């Protein structure tokens, strides 16, 4: 049994749902002991949520006289100390904006190889699986370091409940140097209704959306589905949507349970960003569109007719 840490991400002191898949990965079907590490956030309030997925130890990491939540650099240094203190053999996190920032610093600080944006881990072989060449291949990579440092693509591993006997601890990490970076303010982008990279369901509009205001049609449907709304690069380049909504090789990488593509041709560059979605549904007027070769369910039809019908059915079913 290996002792694996999970770097828990929070938003306004709430544990993000995407952490649960990382805990499931770390637990490895009960073969490992999982230590959940919260950066300066109260561990008691997170205990029930994290223990439900198998975290046995839930630790509030603090540093003396500094706000750990404000600096990714300080968090990386505190994590380095916690890894040693808890004798962790691996640390798992998310390849989210925050995770990428903290894990890259931690990797440099410890001089340990980092595997980022992984879609699978095998603790016995010390291998990870990563999507390469715009999603055309999945590479299995062997890590030779003693400590397994791995940031997982959010939602790549399905979270599974596995109630654990848990205990809460507080650990004051010893950090010599002050962090090199301090975040003074976070300004949210104008579109950030729901973070695409963390959404369970995504509905995306491609080039034929034709105007920014037409995304309203997708937003209405998304609200009923509890989904985030995405865009293709063609739609972004045409000025219909901001770049923060772009999915693909030069946009965001997503791995939702359900991906509904409306008016997408199915380009390799778009698929590079959403190929690992669990179920892909395509709506396209052209029966020969390449996306129909790559999706699980296809609807040949005009999205301006199909989406409102879907919204109506959802409204009836949800009573909203
Ligand atoms: C280096 C590089 C990086 C790139 N990065 C990205 C990226 O990150 N993300 C990305 O998306 N693209 C990216 N692209 C662009 C990519 O190659 C495609 O051009 C783009 O994805 C096409 O977008 P689309 O599917 O919305 O539009 P189109 O290719 O124009 O396809 C529109 C589809 O909608 C169908 N259609 C038309 N009207 C309707 C209707 N009313 N209802 C339903 N279906 C309809 C058409 O039959 C067609 O299949 C990149 C390209 C390059 C070269």
User: DSSP assignment of 294-320, as one string?
Assistant: H-SEEEES-HHHHHHHHHHHHHHHHT-
> For the chain, what is the domain count?
2
Do 86 and 18 share a structural domain? yes
**CATH number of 82's domain:** 3.40.50.620
Do 138 and 10 share a structural domain? yes
* 281 part of a folded domain: yes
* 84 part of a folded domain: yes
Do 224 and 125 share a structural domain? no
Do 101 and 232 share a structural domain? no
* 182 part of a folded domain: no
Do 36 and 166 share a structural domain? yes
| Distance separating alpha carbons of residues 49 and 47, to the nearest angstrom | 6
| Distance separating alpha carbons of residues 27 and 20, to the nearest angstrom | 10
Do 62 and 163 share a structural domain? yes
Ligand 1 atom nearest residue 248's Cα: 8
pLDDT at 189: 64
User: 270, 274, 307: which to mutate for ligand 1, most atoms within 8 A of CB?
Assistant: 270
* 181 part of a folded domain: no
Do 131 and 15 share a structural domain? yes
CA of 206 to the centre of ligand 1 (A): 6
* 188 part of a folded domain: no
Do 213 and 148 share a structural domain? no
Give the global pTM: 0.82
pLDDT at 39: 94
User: 202, 210, 262, 264: which to mutate for ligand 1, most atoms within 8 A of CB?
Assistant: 264
Residue identifier of the C-alpha nearest atom 23 of ligand 1: 234
* 178 part of a folded domain: no
CA of 301 to the centre of ligand 1 (A): 17
Do 203 and 161 share a structural domain? no
Do 234 and 126 share a structural domain? no
Do 233 and 97 share a structural domain? no
Nearest to 4 by CA among 121, 119, 116, 154: 121
CA of 132 to the centre of ligand 1 (A): 21
pLDDT at 267: 96
Do 200 and 146 share a structural domain? no
* 187 part of a folded domain: no
| Largest Cα span, the chain | 63
* 126 part of a folded domain: yes
pLDDT at 51: 98
CA of 259 to the centre of ligand 1 (A): 15
Domain residue limits at 258:
196-318
User: 234, 245, 304: which to mutate for ligand 1, most atoms within 8 A of CB?
Assistant: 234
CA of 297 to the centre of ligand 1 (A): 18
Tell me the C-alpha to C-alpha distance, in Å, between residue 197 and each of 16, 41, 62, 214, 257. 12, 23, 28, 22, 12
**CATH number of 289's domain:** 3.40.50.1220
> In 245-283, which positions are buried (b, 16+ CB within 10 angstroms) versus exposed (e)?
bbbbbebbbbbbebbbbbbbbbbeebbbbbbbbeebbbb
The series of mean pLDDT values per 10 residues for the chain, 320 residues long, is 96 92 97 96 95 98 86 94 98 95 96 96 95 84 96 94 97 84 74 78 98 97 96 98 94 94 97 94 98 97 98 92
């Amino acid at each position: 049994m290996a002792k694996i840490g999970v770097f828990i991400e929070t938003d306004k002191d709430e544990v993000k749902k995407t952490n649960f898949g990382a805990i499931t990965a770390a637990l490895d079907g009960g073969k490992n002991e999982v230590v959940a590490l919260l950066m300066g956030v109260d561990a008691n309030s997170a205990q029930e949520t994290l223990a439900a997925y198998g975290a046995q130890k839930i630790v509030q990491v603090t540093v003396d006289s500094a706000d750990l939540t404000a600096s990714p650099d300080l968090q990386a240094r505190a994590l380095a100390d916690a890894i040693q203190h808890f004798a962790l053999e691996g640390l798992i996190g998310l390849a989210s904006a925050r995770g990428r920032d903290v894990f890259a610093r931690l990797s440099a600080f410890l001089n340990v190889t980092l595997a980022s944006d992984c879609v699978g881990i095998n603790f016995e072989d010390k291998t990870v699986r990563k999507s390469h060449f715009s999603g055309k291949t999945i590479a299995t990579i062997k890590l030779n370091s003693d400590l397994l440092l791995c940031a997982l693509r959010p939602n790549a591993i399905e979270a599974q409940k596995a109630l654990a006997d848990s205990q809460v601890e507080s650990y004051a990490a010893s950090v010599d140097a002050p962090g090199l970076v301090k975040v003074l303010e976070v300004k949210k982008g104008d579109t950030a209704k729901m973070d695409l990279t963390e959404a369970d369901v995504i509905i995306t509009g491609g080039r034929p959306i034709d105007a920014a205001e037409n995304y309203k049609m997708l937003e209405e449907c998304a609200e009923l589905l509890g989904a985030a709304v995405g865009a293709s690069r063609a739609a972004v380049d045409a000025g219909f949507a901001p770049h923060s909504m772009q999915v693909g090789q030069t946009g965001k990488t997503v791995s939702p349970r359900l991906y509904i593509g409306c008016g997408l041709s199915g380009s390799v560059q778009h698929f590079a960003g959403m190929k690992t979605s669990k179920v892909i549904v395509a709506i396209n007027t052209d029966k020969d569109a390449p996306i129909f070769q790559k999706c699980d369910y296809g609807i040949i039809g005009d999205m301006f007719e199909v989406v409102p019908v879907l919204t109506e059915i959802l409204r009836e079913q949800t009573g909203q």
